[in-house]
Amino acid sequence: MLPEIHRLKRKKDFERVFKEGKGGFKEDFLILKIIKNDLKVSRFGFVVSKNFSKKATLRNKIKRRLRELVKTKLTKIKKGIDGVMIAQPGLEAKDFWEIEEIINKLFQKAKLIK
């Protein structure tokens, strides 16, 4: 599980990323929006809407996969960034390793990896 200090939780944090965030980096079925924060850690939030699937179990499964993949990359990610990953319909057809490749490409596009 993604450590608590690396999670975006509050509504105002999500809103700040959506309003002021740059990017909108898109790769396959994932979108990444980022903004700098004044912290010594990078934080991430995940959005999987009901448009993605009506089933909460499927939405939660995708969020768990995304959290785990971001957790494995935390040491390589630059510090001081808030990011929101938005899943789009079609991601559920991908397996864990395909999602990992998508995230790697996203982070390289956004120049988040050291």
12 to 18, 53, 67: CA distances (angstroms): 10, 25, 20
Domains (range + CATH), the chain: 4-109 (3.30.230.10)
pLDDT above 90: residue 10: yes
Mean pLDDT calculated for residue range 4-26: 93
Mean pLDDT calculated for residue range 44-60: 95
> pLDDT value at position 47?
96
94 to 42, 65, 66: CA distances (angstroms): 26, 11, 12
Q: 80's torsion region: left (phi>0), alpha (psi -120 to 50) or beta?
A: left
pLDDT above 80: residue 114: no
Overall size of the chain counted in residues: 114
pLDDT in tens, 99-111: 999 999 999 999 9
Instruction: Round to whole Å and give the CA distance between 53 and 14.
Output: 21
* pTM for this prediction: 0.91
CA-closest candidate to residue 21, choices 67, 82, 76, 62:
82
CA-closest candidate to residue 105, choices 53, 20, 28:
28
> pLDDT value at position 95?
93
